[in-house]
A and B are shown apart, each in its own frame.
Chain A
Amino acid sequence: MKAAETTALPDARGRFGRFGGRYVPEVLIPALDELTAAWEELQDEPAFRGELEALLRDFVGRPSPLTFASRLSDRLGYRVYLKREDLNHTGAHKINNTLGQVLLARRLGKGRIIAETGAGMHGVATATACALFGLPCVVYMGEEDTVRQAPNVARMQLLGAEVVTVTSGSRTLKDAMNEAMRDWAGSVRETHYVIGSVAGPHPFPSLVRDLQRVIGDEAKVQFRDAEGRDPDAVVACVGGGSNAMGIFAPFVGAPGTRLVGVEAGGRGDADGEHCRSLTLGAPGVLHGSLSYLLQDGDGQVLATHSISAGLDYPGVGPEHSYMKEAGLASYVSATDAQALEGFQALGELEGILPALEPAHAVGWLLGGPLPEGSTVLVNLSGRGDKDMETVRRALGEPPSDRPRRA
């Protein structure tokens, strides 16, 4: 009964229970109506599906593999499988969404694409989709993130996108999204805004979930092939929450499978030191939907911190808020230090350098939170190339131009 309940959401007003909705200026409402109608019409249209599926197979390289993490499993006493979204073209799950949305934008006749980005993976994936279809692309990125994720700025530029550095507010993902929404308010007739997470006003939370559920649909089949059953736990990091919604989707409400979202615990529980919207925030409205939000007593949005730019966001997608309150998923956190431990463990035990975002999911697992013998599916949502400098600095290594040891 729970599975049916969740696939029916959101309702016609874009609500997941009390969460979601469309809290945006009037000027954007017509575009949201148009997008909602287009997605309802196209998501099951054979030509559209065929075009998207061909791109996911031939351009992205789907299906992505499911890797049994044998040495990590031995260490933890679990059977851990990694869904390898890091092996997608562009290096993360984000491309699943951007190709779908850019195809939609083409059907809507929109000739210009904008996006926000934190870690840069969504920006790269959007720039890639735009290059593929010859569409102009503008990506908004907070100044702090352009520094800590510099390789991705270069990638976007080489793909032909214009990267706009956002210097307002905290100069991270939240502010990039503010600026993208301001652009969209002025350009909405000719521009589609490719939101990168299951956040924003309706229909984005369900649109992005639907485009990302290919992760979970593949993983469910792959896991059954490997273990003959569904996993005891599905674990994914949660910033806005698109990789988590994507892998959770086919398991929601399934008895026997626990869904665990891991938020960025940053440096601790004090205000401004973390990104734990679901575990320390309260319901509020930011970027167009009602969801858990880190805010002060007057409703001002709080600053956040995470070692991972992709999780450095004070809000979260509204369906996660619904799943938390409905008991359909549980939400925990991993600190910067735990994420670094997760990063190192995957590197040393499995030969995989993950992005710092999914390293939070691995870092949480290292604490041994599940019963001995549990089978675990982890969404390895992206690869770690972009994070090399951040990790080296955090681990106290000298910079990359250090002399070679004899």
Chain B
Amino acid sequence: MPDLEAALRARRDGGGRAFVPYVTGGLPGVDADLLRGLEEAGADAVEVGIPFSDPVMDGGVIQEASRLALEEGTRPADVLATVKEAGLSVPVAVMTYFNPVLSRGPGDFLADAAQAGVSGAIVPDLPVDEADDWITACSKVSIAPVFLAAPGSTTERLASIAASAGGFVYCVATYGVTGERDRLAGTAQEVVLALRPLTDLPLLVGVGIGTPAQASEACAFADGVIVGSALVRRLVDGDPDGALAMAGKFRAAIGPA
């Protein structure tokens, strides 16, 4: 499977910025074709959500997407099957909450993911202090454990996050949950600048990047952006073509693929 960190580093080393779209797995319209469409639209990596019943880090759009996906009967294995079927040449990271991981068992969950070609895993309610076993399990199957850094994280915590993370560091742009905002929060740059001296890992900004202009603004200081709700909103509305067109606009705004 493609290496998440290497792919994002290569983009940075080439002077570009990374575009990582997020979609909720199992949501109607999120099939292998859509994942391939995101790659064709210029994604450097694709983040695929495994829906959870109680997504406390997510705002209204991704909550609704998760609800719809679960209503369809989506199981973690279904999402992984879609990832495998898509067979992307760019890396795929899965995002889910800790309870589905714990329910399967972290080792088995990661083995299933690796089998499907997943390169990275993001678990927003698993802070680095609780993640020793998780990090060990990730290293066994060469899946990068992506951790979140947030506004308000102390320098000690940022150092610990940087030392534990693989793939990239997910820099949470703002206080709050996922969802589009009117403007890019000033805290986004603060998090990235605080992390820079602590790590050479790619630093990607996510949460609240709602427009191509905001993405472009974030890419002035970050190595790339993660864009979720702005795409998922269109998928929830039953408009996968609109989501792909939007992905293309984000790609164009932050630089050529």
Residues of B within 8 A of A287 (CB): 54, 56
Q: Which of B2-10, B28-36, B145-153, B247-255 contacts A (4 or more CB under 8 A)?
A: B145-153
- Write the A15-32 contact mask toward B (1 if CB under 8 angstroms, else 0): 000000111111101110
**CB closest chain-B residue, reference A24:** B125
Instruction: For the complex, give the distance between the alpha carbons of A187 and B101 in Å.
Output: 28
Report the bound CA distance from A293 to B97 in whole Å. 15
Q: How many residues belonging to A are interface residues under a CB distance threshold of 8 Å?
A: 36
Tell me the bound Cα distance from A301 to B53 in angstroms.
6
Residue of B nearest to A31 (CB): B152
Which of A27, A30, A299 is in CB contact (< 8 Å) with B172? A27
Residues on B with C-beta less than 8 A from A286 are: 54, 99
Q: How far is the CA of A295 from the CA of B98 in the complex (A)?
A: 13
Residues of A near B172 (CB, < 8 A) are 25-27
Specify which of B53, B102, B154, B174 is in contact with A30 (CB 8 Å cutoff). Answer: B154
Task: Let me know if B157 and A29 touch, CB within 8 A.
Answer: yes
A295: chain B residues at CB < 8 Å are 99, 103
Could you tell me if B175 and A187 are in contact, using CB atoms closer than 8 angstroms? Answer: yes
Cβ of B183 to closest chain A Cβ, rounded Å: 15
Contact among A21, A181, A298 with B103 in the assembled complex (CB-CB below 8 Å): A298
**B16, CB-defined interface residue at 8 Å:** no
The answer on a CB contact under 8 Å between A285 and B125 is yes
Q: Which of B126-134, B218-226, B230-238 contacts A (4 or more CB under 8 A)?
A: B126-134
Asked whether any CB of chain B lies closer than 8 Å to the CB of A297, the reply is: yes
Are B76 and A298 in touch, CB under 8 angstroms?
A: yes
A285 touches B99 (CB 8 A): yes
With CB as the reference atom, state the residue of chain B lying closest to A27: B150
B100 lies within 8 A of A25 (CB): no
Q: For A298, what are the chain B residues with a Cβ–Cβ distance below 8 Å?
A: 75-76, 100, 103-104
Most buried by B among A21, A31, A285: A285
Task: Report B170-187 residues with CB < 8 Å from chain A CB.
Answer: 172, 174-177
Pick the residue among A27, A283, A284 that contacts B152 (CB under 8 A): A27
Q: Give the complex CA separation of A189 and B126 in angstroms.
A: 21
Cα–Cα distance between A148 and B11 once the two chains are bound (Å): 56
A13 interface hit (Cβ, 8 Å): yes
Question: Which of B63, B100, B176 has its CB near the most chain A CB atoms (within 10 A)?
Answer: B176
Q: How far is the CA of A189 from the CA of B152 in the complex (A)?
A: 9
Q: Is the CB of A26 within 8 A of B127?
A: yes
User: Which residues of chain B have C-beta atoms less than 8 A from A26's C-beta?
Assistant: 124, 127-128, 147-150, 153, 157, 161, 172
Bound CA–CA A297/B150 (angstroms): 32
Distance of B14 from chain A, by nearest CB (Å): 30
A185 within 8 A of B: yes
B54, A22: Cβ atoms under 8 Å?
A: no
> Which residues of B are found within 8 Å of A13, using beta-carbon distances?
129
User: Are the C-beta atoms of B100 and A182 separated by less than 8 Å?
Assistant: no
- Contact partner, A186, options B100, B103, B176, Cβ 8 Å: B176
Task: Point out which of B59, B153, B177 has the most chain A C-beta atoms below 10 A from its C-beta.
Answer: B177
Interface set of A (CB-CB < 8 Å, partner B) = 13, 21-27, 29-31, 168-169, 174, 178, 181-182, 185-189, 283-288, 290, 293, 295, 297-301
